[in-house]
Amino acid sequence: MESRFPFPVPGSQFPVAKTAAMSRHFLAIPDFSRAELDRLFALAESMRSGAYGKKPLAGKSLAMIFLKSSTRTRVSFEVGAWQLGGHALFLSSRDVQIGRGEPIPDTARVLSRYVDGIMIRTFAHSDVEQLAQYSSVPVINGLTDLLHPCQVLADILTMRQRFGSYEGKKVAWIGDGNNMANSWINAAYRLGFELMLACPEGYEPDQAILERAQRDGRVTLVRDPNQAAAGAHVVNTDVWASMGQEEEQAVREQAFADYQVDTALMKRAARDAIFLHCLPAHRGEEVTAEVIDGPQSCVFEEAENRLHIQKAIMAALIGGEPLA
Ligand code: CP
Ligand code: NVA
């Protein structure tokens, strides 16, 4: 078997030395230009339709580090890597040394010698930034407390499928100013569509992310869900207590009581509006069963789109698929 380590191996199919400068990471939506994001959406569509038949991950491996639970992210990355000809390793923090305190820089440098890309889901965003800093292979953010960029790209892919484009559309965010809200703000900043967020006091999005997007003028934060939903093409929400906030559930239920997406709120939106939720959802809390299981809901197309967009991201960052 040929060596995968960075020593010269005559005839090796693997790169003998990778440097950090060679790798491109995806930690946040603005890491890509608008043109590159449009190319990723087009690539994802060609993968969804079956037109894309290449195997850019052949002979390549993806390490998937999880410090939080996951259904969609884990399965879509693992299946997606396999469909592109590659192999994915599920590394739960319960089993690998990072969960026992092995330093992130060491983990990054070790994994970089075995695998061709690293996907990580964790708590502190700074941990993912540090992983990327020390990794010589691409790092993909599979959710932090701050951001969930893969999910929001899947959501915009769903918007494109339904409306043909994100251009000229209004997106409403109802509820917590959490990792999903922050990624929507980043997307509106990069792609230029209108985003109106309705968040209760004390649960606003990240201030720096919001201020940067507001300088371009198309992102607004309000308190009233009816104002945010008015005329919106997409009405979007998420759980009131994210992973790691379970102990705040009771307090949050009170704070978000007026922020449930129900049929009355959907009636404020455009006639052809869609409802999105990254899932998992709590029916009867942030959304009624009538809405999430109703005709305007696109939550399962949205979940499927995780697979297509992440394949496009992996093909580009790990498989060398050009984005220009
Ligand atoms: N939406 C999402 O990221 O789902 P999982 O937590 O199941 O991965
Ligand atoms: N905001 C949620 C998203 C889950 C996919 C969380 O962080 O738990």
Q: Domain residues of the chain, as ranges?
A: 20-148+305-316, 150-303
Which ligand 1 atom lies nearest to the CA of residue 278? 1
Mean of the pLDDT values across residues 114-129?
Answer: 98
The burial of 91, by beta-carbon neighbours within 10 Å (0-12 exposed, 13-18 middle, 19 or more buried), is given as buried
Looking at domain 20-148+305-316, which CATH architecture does it have? 3-Layer(aba) Sandwich (3.40)
pLDDT at 275 over 50: yes
Mode of pairing for the β-strands spanning 194-198 and 274-277: unpaired
Whole-angstrom CA distances from 127 to 65, 98, 122, 134 are 12, 11, 8, 11
Q: What is the Cα–Cα distance from 81 to 320, expressed in whole angstroms?
A: 14
Q: Exposure of 50 by Cβ count < 10 A (0-12 exposed, 13-18 middle, 19+ buried)?
A: exposed
pLDDT at 71 over 50: yes
Under 8 Å between Cβ of 130 and 136: no
Q: Is the CB of 179 under 6 A from ligand 2?
A: yes
Cα–Cα distance measured from residue 292 to residue 178, given in angstroms and rounded to the nearest whole number: 20
Mean pLDDT of 109-134: 98
Instruction: Determine the pLDDT at residue 22.
Output: 66
- Does residue 70's CB lie within 6 angstroms of at least one atom of ligand 1? yes
Q: 241 with 178: CB under 8 angstroms?
A: no
pLDDT band at 217 (very low <50, low <70, confident <90, very high): confident
Q: Can you tell me the distance from the alpha carbon of 152 to that of 184, in angstroms, rounded to the nearest whole number?
A: 6
Domains 20-148+305-316 and 150-303 share a fold: yes
The yes-or-no verdict on residue 12 having pLDDT over 60 is: no
Dihedral sign of CA atoms 44, 48, 50, 54 in order: positive
Query: In the chain, pLDDT over 70 holds for what percent of residues?
Result: 93
Write out the two tokens for 148: 């969930």
Mean pLDDT of 219-230: 98
* pLDDT the model gives residue 137: 98
Does residue 79 surpass a pLDDT of 70?
yes
pLDDT band of 248, cuts 50, 70, 90: very high
**7 CA from centroid of ligand 1 (Å):** 38
> Average pLDDT over the chain, rounded to whole?
94
User: What's the pLDDT score for residue 14?
Assistant: 38
Residue 15 has pLDDT above 80, yes or no: no
SS3 45: helix
Other C-beta atoms lying within 10 Å of the C-beta of residue 313: 27
Residue 63 backbone phi and psi in degrees, to 5: -90, 135
pLDDT at residue 9, as a whole number:
35
Q: What is the CATH architecture of 150-303?
A: 3-Layer(aba) Sandwich (3.40)
pTM of the complete model? 0.94
Q: Residue 262 catalytic?
A: no
**pLDDT score at 216:** 80
Ligand 1 nearest-atom number relative to CA 74: 8
Tell me the angle at which helices 179-191 and 34-49 cross, rounded to the nearest 10 degrees: 110
Ligand 2 center–CA 306 separation, angstroms: 14
Q: Which of 68, 74, 148, 151 to mutate for ligand 2's pocket (most ligand atoms within 8 Å of CB)? A: 148
Ligand closest in space to the Cα of 278: 1
The whole-angstrom separation of Cα 194 and Cα 133 is 33
pLDDT > 90: what percent of the chain? 92
pLDDT band for position 17 (cuts 50, 70, 90): very low
The mean pLDDT value for 243-253 works out to 98
Structure token digits, residue 206: 């990240």
The rounded distance, in Å, linking the Cα atoms of 4 and 27 is 26
Residue type at 323 in one-letter notation: L
Is the model's pLDDT at 73 over the cut of 60?
yes
Residue 324 CB coordination number (10 Å): 6
The pLDDT-based confidence of 308 (bands split at 50, 70, 90) is: very high
Cα dihedral angle (34, 207, 245, 291), rounded to 10 degrees?
-60
Say what the pLDDT of residue 1 is: 31
